[in-house]
Amino acid sequence: MSFLGNIIWLILGGLIAAIGWAIAGVLLCITVIGIPFGLQCFKIAGLTLAPFGKSISMGDFGAGSFIGNIIWIVLLGWELCLMHIVMALLLGITIIGLPFAKQHLKLAQLALLPFGSRI
């Protein structure tokens, strides 16, 4: 079932979103300061390609992860999280969209706190 969900997800916009995350990762990795944020974009791009059948666990938030998450939230994390929550609400209106809404909530969690999280 997760294979079918991932195929439908890719067709209905998951591929475009993953490409967008990958481009953001490449742009951030151009600068030395942006490399940690670019790596997190690549992590989110990988999950965006195939979110069904994967889970997110919030790992140990050390000092580096804490500081990285604070900078991430201030710069762009809250907007991305809000976008995924809005998409989840829109998809949750229909019964067919509920599995996709659940995946957007998973992506919202990762978009808010990517440092220290494991897929």
pLDDT, position 102? 85
Which among 53, 50, 52, 72 has a CA at the least distance from the CA of 117? 72
Residue 82 to residues 62, 78, 85, 87, Cα–Cα distance (Å): 25, 6, 5, 9
Tens digit of each residue's pLDDT (9 = 90 or more) over 39-79: 888 888 888 888 888 777 777 777 777 888 888 888 878 88
pLDDT bin (cut points 50, 70, 90) of residue 87 is confident
What φ, ψ does residue 117 adopt, rounded to 5°? -90, 145
What φ, ψ does residue 59 adopt, rounded to 5°? -85, -160
Residue 7 to residues 50, 74, 77, Cα–Cα distance (Å): 8, 33, 27
pLDDT, position 43? 86
Do 21 and 44 touch, CB atoms closer than 8 A? yes
| Count of structural domains within the chain | 1
Q: Can you give the residue range of the structural domain that contains 85?
A: 2-118
**Percent over 90 (pLDDT), the chain:** 1
CA-CA distance, 48 to 40, in Å (whole number)?
A: 12
Query: Would the pLDDT of 30 be above 80?
Result: yes
Q: How many residues does the chain have?
A: 119
CA-CA distance, 102 to 98, in Å (whole number)?
A: 6
The pTM for the full model equals: 0.76
Query: Would the pLDDT of 4 be above 80?
Result: yes
DSSP bridge partners of 117: 58
